[in-house]
C-alpha cells in the first residue's frame, strides 16, 4: 500500500467568508474575532466559535483508498464527492 501525505493545499472557509488556502495542521480559532461576551469567556480565549469548512481536492488513481484523518476536532463531518460519509462527534 502506498502512503501519501495530503496535509498541503487545503481550503478553509468560515460561513460567509471567502476560502483561504492553508496547510494542515490548522487551528480554526486563528484569525477568528474575540468577543468580550463570548459564551466560553476567558476559558475559550473569548472566541465565539462556530462552523468552518475544510476542502481538499484529490485525484486518486487506485481501485481502493483509505483516508486516515488524525486530529479532527469537535463535530467533524466527512464528505466524499459531496456524499456524507461519517461524523466524528466529540473531538
Nearest to 58 by CA among 30, 28, 78: 78
Q: Which domain holds residue 46?
A: 1-91
The pLDDT-based confidence of 74 (bands split at 50, 70, 90) is confident
Residue 62: other Cβ atoms inside 10 A: 8
- Residue 75 confidence (pLDDT) above 90: no
Is residue 67 classed as helix, strand or coil in its secondary structure? coil
pTM value?
0.81
Grade residue 33 by pLDDT with cuts at 50, 70 and 90.
confident
Give the gyration radius of the chain's Cα atoms: 15
Q: How many domains does the chain have?
A: 1
Closest residue by Cα to residue 54 from 35, 74, 38, 34? 74
Residue 81, all three cell numbers: 464527492
Amino acid at each position: 500500500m502506498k502512503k501519501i501525505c495530503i496535509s498541503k493545499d487545503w481550503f478553509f472557509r468560515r460561513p460567509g467568508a471567502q476560502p483561504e488556502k492553508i496547510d494542515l495542521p490548522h487551528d480554526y480559532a486563528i484569525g477568528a474575532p474575540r468577543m468580550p461576551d463570548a459564551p466560553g469567556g476567558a476559558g475559550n480565549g473569548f472566541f465565539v466559535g462556530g462552523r468552518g469548512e475544510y476542502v481538499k481536492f484529490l485525484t486518486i488513481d487506485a481501485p481502493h483508498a483509505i483516508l486516515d484523518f488524525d486530529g479532527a476536532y469537535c463535530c467533524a463531518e466527512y464528505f466524499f464527492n459531496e456524499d456524507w460519509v461519517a461524523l466524528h462527534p466529540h473531538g
